[in-house]
Structure 1
Amino acid sequence: MSILEKAFEARNSKVNKVETTKALKKPMDVYAKLEEIAAAGYEGLAKEDSAYFLKCFGLFDKGEDFMLRVRVPAGQLNYEQALRIGEVAQKYGNDYIDLTTRMQVELRYLQIADIAKVLQELKEVGISTFQTGVDNPRNIVTDPLDGIAYDNIIETKPIINELQDIFGENPDWISVLPRKFNTGILGSLSNSCNIFGHDCCFVLAQKDGIFGFNIYLGARVGVQAQDADLFVHMDEVGLFYQSLLTVFKTYGYRDNRNKNRLVFLINDVGIENFVNAIKEEANAEFSSAGTTMVQSQNIALGSNKVLGRNGKFNYKIIVPSGIFSGTDLIAAAQAAKKFGTGDLRLTYDQNLYIINIAKDVLEELEATELITSYEKFNNLYFNDMIACAGTATCSFGVIPNKPDAIEMAHYLNSEIPIENATVRMNWSACPKGCGVHGIADIGFEGCKAKDDGGNKVDGVHIFVGGKITRKAKEAHTLHKALPITEAKHHVKYLLKTYSAFKQKGETYEAFDDRYVSANYSFQALAFYTKINYILNEKLGLDLWFKLESNPKTFKKEEFELFTFGLKLFKLLTGEKRYESVENFEPVLTKPRSITRDEVTKLNPKVPAKLSEVIYTMTHPEKRERAQVFSELIVALKEVD
């Protein structure tokens, strides 16, 4: 522990303002006065209550109203609970519900006078909102088909119940951590809850013929969790988890809020020393890691009807950007009771399942008004889309986000409809990354950009190549600050390539590994989408500049740049730039005069600026050629 003590002392000579606020009172004292606060209205609300303490119970003051996070352990709701949440949304919250990536719900537009009534009505059906905000252990996520799916090895809900009992509504655990703490526990082979993206990840594993969990620790936005080289048995999870939280509570940093997540402590002391501290706290010697069994994405991706091992079907309702309503949640609960067991499962990707439906009533369920109203979203672009709250409901949002995600999904589906495919597209409205854009196949982070006229507009940074598999990795930036109106075209050409060259049933992630990232640098890919945007959307030439499956450029930028130039020349003029090319150098077996406006002479539709760009890419003298794609992308902005 001495190493952790030294790290703690080095970082905690001065605490942040939130820690000062936390010292003013106990959260439960504020909770006990909710009825008084509700009766007095905003005049009865202390500044620190609004700024911090009410957030411990999921209540976020939005100025004119409140947002409430409702805790749904494992994303599982019974009939009474789903019905009650829907009724509360109808009665108090403008009939609005957000489904979130922590497999829970958010109610919005609640008035301060109704807060105590809302919490009481939820409590009557066993629903808690405790510890869904600020410095607390947040809702625990798992496979939405936990205990149902064929690939589910360990049912985790009983374990999650045990962990809930440790902290849940225990006053000793409310607001005692240095920062928020996210947890995932997955007992399935499919990665259906971004299992490597939490502060603490219990990942299905096997050791010596026994199934349990390997431990991964310290994820945050932009960083996936580290392998802790630990294996815990099912009956050890509770002890390990409480010991982990205790160590974090004791030694976690409380100075800079931006650097107080668990990962910063682990990075400073080293994962091995941190694990030893947990073992010491637990007074237990946990085993070294076994074999991690989670290898893939959800095996049911792309399907909204999943057969469970009990012989019953589970129907997935695709909810665009997680925007739902109390009315529809009530309808879902009623459908679940009529056609199944009355139970619903919320998902990490902001959708929900009606579970345990007999085959002979499945068609009847599909014919209901609820299902038919959401059927139009059952396509590639909505199935695996995630979008966090944007400017309409979040003060940190830079762009509207949810509407942007929906609009782009509709556009892409109309332009490039693809069957039997999977593309994970995640949207975050700001750098905080609540839409987990960093692990998406194609991710978007909201920003401001400039259009062709120099006007400031809503934009996105585009990311590609994120992974949620066992070799999880963060996406790479493809483009920065593109207007959203332009960004959709760049994405279209990525998906056009996928549609044309994917193998049967191949996910975008697998396709990218095999076809795109395996052969091209990110710089080349950025140029590829930009040049297609110029050729087709700006110039209207209706020419698709394709990526080859085996370009033989070894992902070396100067080679990629030169060969791209040669292909563009031929695409636009029908002629070869040189008679032959060996070792990526021009061999002029039939020399002829080459001028900067060569392309424009051969194809009058090509602007002089684009002709100059291609000439720069293929200059006979290597030292005179452009060296990097980035300078060409800048030059392409001047093409009109």
Structure 2
Amino acid sequence: MKLTLKKYEQFKAALRPYDYFPQVETLDFMSLGEGDRFYLQDFGIFNSELEEESFMLRVRVPGGRINAENFKAIADIVKKHDLKMILTARSGMQLHGLEPDNILEVFKQINAMDGLSTWQTFGDNIRNVITDVFDGRGKSCEIEVFPLIKKMQDFFLRNSDLVGLLPRRVSTGITGMRENVSLFFSNDIFFGLAQKNNIYGFNVYFGGKNTETAQSADIFLEPDEVVDFFEAVIFAFNKYGSRKKRMQSRIFHMIESIGMDEFKSKISEFYKKSWQSSGNLLLNKKIFDDFEELADGSYAYRYRTNFGLIEAEEVEQIANFAIKNCLEVRLGTDQQIYLLGLPDKSVPFEQRSVAPTVVACAGSEYCPFSYWSIKEESHYLPQKKLEKHGIKVGFSGCMKGCGRHKHADIGIVGLRSNKFGKNDKAARIFLGGEYTYGKRATEAVFRSIPVDEMERVISLVIDTFELSKEKDFETFSSNILNKFTPQFLEFWFLANLQREECRKLTLKDEMSLAEEIGDEKYIEIVKNRGFNAAAESLVRDMWHVTNVQEVYHVNPNERKVR
């Protein structure tokens, strides 16, 4: 669905989404109009005019906490209607494959479940508020934030003045943990655990999104100040956020336009208290195992999904085990399922051999914007190497970045290309992320490589990291990769790949390192035309074909159920 900003704002001005809601009960889902599709997103129902008979329902799971009985009930719904379930990077769920004759039934069933809702999961709304899966239970937890999340959600979820009326969506993250499974600096609003004057509270960060890193607002809040401050931010953004160009209407763009100080001034119009300057941020990096000991001596278990895809039978088994053993079920932003409260490191599940640190977008079967079947292509990755080092991968099917490719150790975006002959798939690979403290997003290094060479290229990058002896990949990025230009890194890695070598990357002059590889043809190109041109020559020599096949673009009606 493509609507201009004018059309979006016309819908909002003509009828508030909240006032439209009573019509949902009597809608003919076989013949929806453009306005119907616009409004339905505010209640979690997505439908495209390209696929009029296929619906998707997105479920909000605040803080990732879901009752085991409800989890089982959702599995029953999925089985009954032959749906597909995907866990999202915001600790929620998507149910794909719904039809005109069952969408309203399932919508009602989900929204009747205690703690769950589909409201405001699409559209210009406040999306699911996320935290860490170990909130309140982990050894490094200083403040349990779930009570704050519930208060935030109570404020906005069915607020008639907010539902569907914001300039654009708002994503929010909050953590009271020192060590986190989740990554938070991709949020529009982030409250990070901090300490000031021996008081635990939160530093505030603004302006993150899938492709940008949130920046410090130089504000410290005590726990009882957070909800009121959050409400003030929403009111300020709703009143002053730009509605002129849809692609420039996030909090990031507002700050880019008026500056952080002026943005804070707008917030102070609605937040009458004074605030303190930021404290000491208390986030520490940790690589987590499948079993983690909790503060009370019990254990948490991470159940690995198929890159976010999960079958109803699996959900049913997990839920039954949780009910029988009085365990908590939580959904992580890493698209994995967590069981908390185990007496020991023992579960009756066979673990998948996929790297649990890979976050993958829905892919072309379930999203009209994705170029790749991301859940399938994720198997091209060197899983064992990624898991061995706890390397975080963000895998997106397009530049919108739902796989968080800019907030990872290694980011991947699926592209279409006819340069490589065998198929129409290529990958762009991003490196250099420093995400624990939100210092730096990844940058594109490999501009385009064939999909079937992705494992070999990424394996070479990991092998180079291993030679560095750095303690983890993020440190390798900070201390080594980010000392070089992306243009040099692309050339250097490709030259090594062509020669089937893995050389240690040392902190030397880029030209000196290039000459050490010793291929005069490409060095001459570097001297005359630069590293980009030399890398392009390497790509042509290794992978381009002379008889280029025609690229076949899938008709939307040929996609799998979404």
Give the TM-score taking structure 2 as reference length: 0.90
Higher fraction of helix: 1
Q: Do the aligned partners of residues 513 and 449 (structure 1) sit closer, same or farther apart at CA in structure 2, a change above 3 Å counting?
A: same
Gaps of 5+ in 1: 1-13, 537-543, 569-610, 618-623
Q: What is the 5 A alignment of 1:102-117? A: 102-117=90-105
SS of the residue 1:450 aligns to = coil
Question: Who is 2:293 aligned against?
Answer: 307
Q: State the one-letter code of the partner of 2:433.
A: G
Judged with a 3 Å threshold, the aligned counterparts in structure 2 of structure 1 residues 403 and 277 are, in CA distance, closer, same or farther, namely same
Between the aligned partners of 1:99 and 1:248, the Cα distance in structure 2 is: 29
1:263 and 2:252 correspond: yes
331 and 200 in structure 1: CA distance in 2 versus 1, 3 angstrom threshold: same
Following TM superposition, by how much is the alpha carbon of 1:271 offset from its aligned partner in structure 2, in angstroms? 0.6
**Which residue is 2:34 aligned to?**
47
Asked if 1 retains the 8 angstrom alpha-carbon contact of 2:330 and 2:338, the reply is yes
Distance 1:513 1:201 in 2: 23
* Correspondence for 1:247: 236
Deviation at 1:345, TM superposition (A): 0.8
Q: Specify which of 320, 327, 330 is matched with residue 316 of structure 2.
A: 330
1:638/1:55 CA distance change after superposition, 3 Å: closer
Q: Tell me which residue corresponds to 1:639.
A: 541
Tell whether the 8 Å contact from 2:125 to 2:164 is kept in structure 1 after alignment. Answer: yes
Note the C-alpha offset of 1:489: 1.7
Task: State yes or no: 1:19 paired with 2:9.
Answer: yes
In structure 2, runs of 5+ residues without a counterpart are: 543-562
Q: What is the distance in 1 between the residues matched to 2:234 and 2:311? A: 35
2:407 to 399, 422, 439: 439
Rounded to whole Å, the distance in 2 between the matches of 1:48 and 1:316 is 42
Partners of 2:300 and 2:106 in 1: CA distance:
30
CA positional deviation for 1:516: 4.2
Give the CA RMSD over aligned residues: 2.1
Tell me the distance in 2 between the aligned counterparts of 1:23 and 1:159: 32
1:420 Cα deviation from its structure 2 partner: 4.5
- Structure 2 CA distance, aligned partners of 1:195 and 1:159? 16
Deviation of the 1:264 alpha carbon: 1.2
The residue matched to 2:237 in structure 1 has which SS? helix
Aligned to 2:560: none
| Preserved contact between residue 450 and residue 482 of structure 1 (Cα < 8 Å) | no
- Alpha-carbon offset, residue 625 of structure 1: 4.3
Distance in 1, Cα, partners of 2:210 & 2:162: 24
C-alpha contact 1:460 1:482 (8 A) present in aligned 2: yes
Conserved 8 A contact 1:95-1:325: no
Residue aligned with 2:365, SS: coil
CA distance in 2, matches of 1:59, 1:31: 12
Match for residue 512 of structure 1 among 470, 474, 477: 477
Q: Tell me if the contact between 2:5 and 2:246 (Cα under 8 Å) persists in the aligned partners.
A: no
The 5 A counterparts of 1:389-408 are 389-405=362-378, 407-408=379-380
Taking a change above 3 Å as real, the CA distance of residues 211 and 524 of structure 1, as seen in their structure-2 partners, is same
Cα 1:452/1:26, change in 2 over 3 Å: closer
Residue in structure 2 matched with residue 450 of structure 1 by the alignment = 418
- Partner Cα distance (1:438, 1:333) in 2: 33
1:260 partner letter:
S
Output aligned runs, 1:47-66, within 5 Å: 47-50=34-37, 52-62=38-48, 63=51, 64-66=53-55
Deviations 1:212-255 (A, max 9, x none): 11110111232111211111111111110111111111111111
2:147 is aligned with 1:158: yes
Q: Bigger relative contact order, structure 1 or 2, given CA contacts below 8 A and separation 6+? A: 2
Deviations 1:96-147 (A, max 9, x none): 2101100111111011221221122223321211110110000000011100
- Tell me the distance in 1 between the aligned counterparts of 2:186 and 2:387: 29
CA distance in 1, matches of 2:337, 2:401: 22
Q: 1:190 deviation in Å?
A: 1.9
Q: 1-side partners of 2:33 and 2:19: how far apart?
A: 12
Compute the displacement of 1:161 (Å). Answer: 0.7
Given the superposition, is the C-alpha separation of residues 241 and 443 from structure 1 closer, same or farther in structure 2, using an over 3 Å criterion?
A: same
Query: C-alpha distance in 2, partners of 1:113/1:80?
Result: 25
User: Are residue 194 (structure 1) and residue 183 (structure 2) matched?
Assistant: yes
The question of whether the paired residues in 1 share the 8 Å contact of 2:172 and 2:188 is answered with: yes
Question: For 1:306 and 1:56, how far apart are their aligned partners in 2?
Answer: 37
Map 1:192-591 → 2, pairs under 5 A: 192-296=181-285, 299=286, 301-339=287-325, 341-359=326-344, 362-363=345-346, 365=347, 368=348, 371-372=349-350, 374-377=351-354, 382-405=355-378, 407-409=379-381, 412-413=382-383, 417=385, 420-453=388-421, 457-502=424-469, 506-518=471-483, 520-536=484-500, 544-548=501-505, 550=506, 553=508, 556-565=509-518
Matched AA of 2:521: E
CA contact (8 A) 2:434 2:478 kept: no
- Once the two structures are TM-superposed, the CA of residue 638 in structure 1 deviates from its matched residue by 4.6
- Looking at structure 2, the residues matched to 274 and 435 of structure 1 have their Cα atoms a distance apart, in angstroms, of 29
The size of the alignment, in residue pairs, is 535
Alignment partner of 1:121 out of 91, 104, 109? 109
Structure-2 separation of matches of 1:358 and 1:216: 37
Separation in 1, partners of 2:386, 2:166: 46
Deviation track 1:265-302 (CA, whole Å, cap 9, x = no partner) reads 11221111211221221111111111111242xx2x24
Query: How far did 1:487 drift?
Result: 2.7
% identity of equivalent residues? 28
Q: Distance in 2 between matches of 1:115 and 1:33?
A: 14
Q: 1:461-503 deviations in whole A, cap 9, x for unaligned?
A: 1100112111431111111122212232211101122344435
Match of 2:552 in 1: none
CA distance in structure 1 between the partners assigned to 2:478 and 2:264 by the alignment = 34
One-letter amino acid matched to 2:538: L
Deviation at 1:547?
1.9
- For 2:419 and 2:67, how far apart are their aligned partners in 1? 49
Q: CA deviation at 1:34?
A: 2.5
1:50-90 Cα offsets, whole Å, 9 max, x none, are: 1x100001100142211111000000011122112212222
Cα distance in 1, alignment partners of residues 404 and 387 from structure 2: 25
The structure number with the bigger radius of gyration is: 1
Amino acid at match of 1:61: N
Superposed CA offset, 1:493-543 (max 9, x none): 01122344435xx3211233345445x54333212321233234xxxxxxx
Q: Counterparts of 1:129-168 in structure 2 under 5 Å?
A: 129-168=118-157
Distance 1:515 1:263, change over 3 A: closer
TM-score (norm 1): 0.80
